[in-house]
Chain A
Amino acid sequence: MRSRRQENAVRSFGAGGGGFGPSRRDVLAGSIGAGALLALPDLGMGGRLGARPGKSGRAALRYAFLYGTPDPGPASSGSLVATMCPVPRTASPLAPVPVAIKLAAAPVSSPDLAVTALATVDMVHDGAKITLTLIDATSAAVAQQGSVTVTGVPRDANVLVTPVFAPGSPIVSLVLAITMPVGKRPVRKADPRTGSQATRWATTWASHHVLAYFDQSSGAITGPFHLSGEPPLALSTAAANSSDLLMWTTREPQPGDSAEIRAQASMSRLTVFPLGSGAARLSVQAPAPWPGGEPLVTLPAGDVARLVRGRDVQVCSARTGEVTELRIPAFSRGRAKPSAVTMQARPEGTVFMTKPGAGVAVIADPADSFRMTAQIQFPPPTSPLGAPWSKAVLSLAGDTCYVLGPAATGGLCAYDVGSGKLVGSYSEGRHYAGLYQLPSGTLLAVRPENPRLAFFSSGLSPIGTADTNLYVSAVF
């Protein structure tokens, strides 16, 4: 295992970048990953366009990171890039600058948004080298980096990496799912177009999980810890509190499973590891649904809430693993189509949850059984399930909810949280796919064609636009 601390590792932006940020030769890249990242300075924090963010000037800037797939090109995989924001309409558009390509998974931001974690995987002679890079949000520079090599991983394996921040702890967990080929056999399969049978070789695969931990205080990595037990699916869900990593996994069904095992197949398993350890202190069955992309929030007491089925919250005790399921009434109306759902912790302890396909956002109090304290209803936007999943955001003060405009008009709308009334709207006929709020309060809306990035004030006044070569699927 190796780790290193790297500061001021990035220098100037590439062409059109305004003279600061990462240069192209600093772009991070794995060998088998996919995602890419752009950085986006939030000049609304008080920075000046073209200012150079040295150490003394870092406080003036805060970057956002755009994740998606490049255009034009083969769209073989996702990318992560950086660009300037907001761009005055009178200024020349600034080209976003690549931060990373071939990421092994989407980035993850720390709870305080100070750093964003990127994971890359390189296949090396003795296995898979996983590198965790923490990008400083105020400089878009590499703040810390550590790597760990998992030996015995063949080159044709797939390695899924999930970084997990722990609120109140410097430990960043790395949950690895390694799926390796375990056999090949000839199979006969009908061609769907011609119906003719053809024989080909098919691969069978098996997954297992590995944990590693990066300590932001020391820069050291602990692990890897290979988790034993029954063969799991690679897909898992993980969250952490200040002392533990909670991990939901699913057992992969096996051909010889008994009826008793099959009867429990809808259950998943919750395993709790002390941070830094590969030995579980708790492992219990967890109720359906299986883990796989559901929003998560670590609550102040250390318990973890999962928003499942787009309508229910499962609160899991970190101490005992006991699960309490609570219905969110505003989300319970049935729909033919799923909707993107989000759940975010608020500084005062509440959570903000959105379900744009149902045209609803709520603030709920986890300390009071997720009792709803505010509900905002709005017409659903044009693509309520497509990426990016963020289609409604809450103002920093918590008094205004911004949402993508209705399918009929596009644009953006603002609602007063207290009254639920529409208090503002803006549309020039453009339909946006995602909406984010930058730490300055500036709103960032993304769309499919350039200018793909549009910036708005908290009063919904357009501030400017920027082009990017990414189809943006998420902003961090």
Chain B
Amino acid sequence: MTGYDTADPIHETYASAHREFGVDPSFWIRYFTPSPAADLFNDDALAESRGAWDSGGPYVGCISAPRQSRLSGSAAEGQADAQAFAAAMLTAYHAVGPLRLPSNGRLYCWLDQEYSTSLSSDYWNAWANYIAEYDFAGLGIYPLYPCLYCNPYSPYPNCSTIAKARGVNVPSAIWSSEPEPCGGPPGPSRWHPQKCGTVPTLLWQYGEQGACSYSSSVDLDLGGPGFVTANYCFHVHSRP
């Protein structure tokens, strides 16, 4: 089941994506603070949630793409980025009444590590720990799960860094950016994303706008066998 990720607002994107691919997405994945180079879901969560509803894919996953040099940095940087990410997700949740946590209690929270970025253990462990231990909305529930978007076969430290993580710092899933066979929905017939050794790849970005010459501002993503990505996203329960 193909979903879209985009750095643009959903409500400004879904119509062109529908024209290009002819189907509703199964889910969206959108950028939250800190993502200094993207339009942020939390800046106008209401309009974005309406867009997700109107697109026919009322599920919104969460990713943060901090300034990439920070991922090489300290625990203080990792914790600060995670704190802002969690606050941004909470702000969106508060802003949109019908925006619900996943019914399984697991909201996967992706950290964007690009191909040429090195991930330090100090940063990752502090980032992941804050996410995993975040008391969401003061409800006494802990629904956030740290996950990593990366290019597993990149020569920069990514899989090797998370392999050293322990306990709740171990990411729940990898979202792999490679390979890119392109094509439209429903996606590749064979599941063959790149993988890390210790954490399963559950989401695959099989088509990237630039590399695949898509005209609409979306990348195409596919959940792995048995993994329904929408179940790990915010759910827009009704039209806001």
Residues in A lying within 8 Å of B, measured CB to CB: 32-35, 67-69, 71, 74-78, 102-106, 121, 158-161, 177, 179, 185, 187, 189-190, 192-193, 200, 202-205, 207, 233-235, 250, 252-257, 262-263, 265-266, 288-290, 292-295, 308-310, 334-341, 357, 380, 382-383, 385-389, 407, 433-434, 448-449, 471, 473-474
**Which residues of B lie under 8 Å from residue A69 when comparing CB positions?**
72, 118, 120, 157
**Measured CA separation A467–B122 after assembly (Å):** 25
Query: Is there an interface contact between A34 and B133, defined as CB atoms closer than 8 Å?
Result: no
The distance in angstroms between the C-alpha atoms of A121 and B4, with both chains bound, is 42
Which single residue of chain A is at the shortest CB-CB distance from B207?
A336
Q: Which residues of B contact A106 (CB under 8 A)?
A: 69-70, 73
Contact of B74 among A105, A289, A290, A338 (CB under 8 A): A105
Q: Pick 19 A–B contacts, CB within 8 A, sort by A.
A: A75-B161, A77-B120, A104-B74, A158-B126, A187-B133, A187-B140, A200-B168, A207-B83, A235-B84, A263-B95, A293-B34, A293-B67, A310-B38, A336-B214, A387-B117, A387-B118, A389-B69, A407-B211, A471-B157
Closest to B219 in A: A336
Instruction: Name the distance in Å between B161's Cβ and chain A's nearest Cβ.
Output: 6
Does B201 touch A at the CB level, under 8 Å? no
Interface size counted on chain B using CB atoms at 8 A = 86
Are B142 and A187 in contact, with the CB atoms below 8 A? Answer: yes
B84 touches A250 (CB 8 A): yes
Provide the residues of chain B in CB contact with A32, threshold 8 Å: 74-76
A335 to B13, CA, bound (A): 10
Say whether A293 contacts B43, CB under 8 Å.
no
| B172 at interface, CB cutoff 8 A | yes
- A336, B5: Cβ atoms under 8 Å? yes
Q: Which of B51-59, B85-93, B184-192 forms part of the interface with chain A?
A: B85-93
Is B72 a contact of A387 with CB atoms below 8 Å? yes
Instruction: Tell me, rounded to whole Å, the shortest Cβ–Cβ distance linking B185 to chain A.
Output: 15
With A34-B122, A309-B40 as contacts: A202 and B133 at CB distance below 8 Å: yes
Chain B residues positioned under 8 Å from A341 (CB to CB): 36-37
B138 adjacent to chain A (CB < 8 Å):
yes
In the complex, which residues 74-104 of chain B have their Cβ closer than 8 Å to any Cβ of chain A?
A: 74-77, 79-81, 83-84, 87-88, 90-91, 94-95
Q: Which 9 A-B pairs have the closest CB atoms?
A: A255-B138, A34-B74, A386-B114, A292-B34, A386-B116, A433-B116, A293-B67, A192-B172, A234-B80
Determine if B118 and A334 form an interchain contact, defined as CB atoms under 8 angstroms apart: no
Does B117 contact A473, Cβ atoms closer than 8 Å? yes
The answer on a CB contact under 8 Å between A78 and B73 is yes
Among A179, A334, A471, point to the contact of B8 (Cβ < 8 A): A334
* Given contacts A78-B120, A387-B68, A266 and B74 within 8 Å (CB-CB): no
A334–B38 Cα gap in the complex (Å)?
A: 10
14 further contact pairs, Cβ within 8 A, besides A33-B76, A75-B157, A252-B83: A33-B74, A160-B77, A189-B132, A233-B80, A255-B138, A289-B40, A290-B40, A292-B84, A295-B36, A309-B40, A338-B7, A340-B37, A386-B68, A386-B114
Q: Which residue of chain A has the shortest Cβ distance to B202 in the bound complex?
A: A192
CB of B122, distance to nearest CB on chain A (Å):
4
Complex contact A105–B87 (CB within 8 A): no
Contact, CB under 8 Å: B83 / A179: yes
Pair A235/B118 contact, Cβ less than 8 Å: no
Asked if A336 and B209 sit within 8 Å, CB to CB, the answer is yes
Are B72 and A337 in contact (CB-based, < 8 A)?
Answer: no
Q: A290 contacts which chain B residues (CB < 8 A)?
A: 33-34, 40, 42, 84, 88
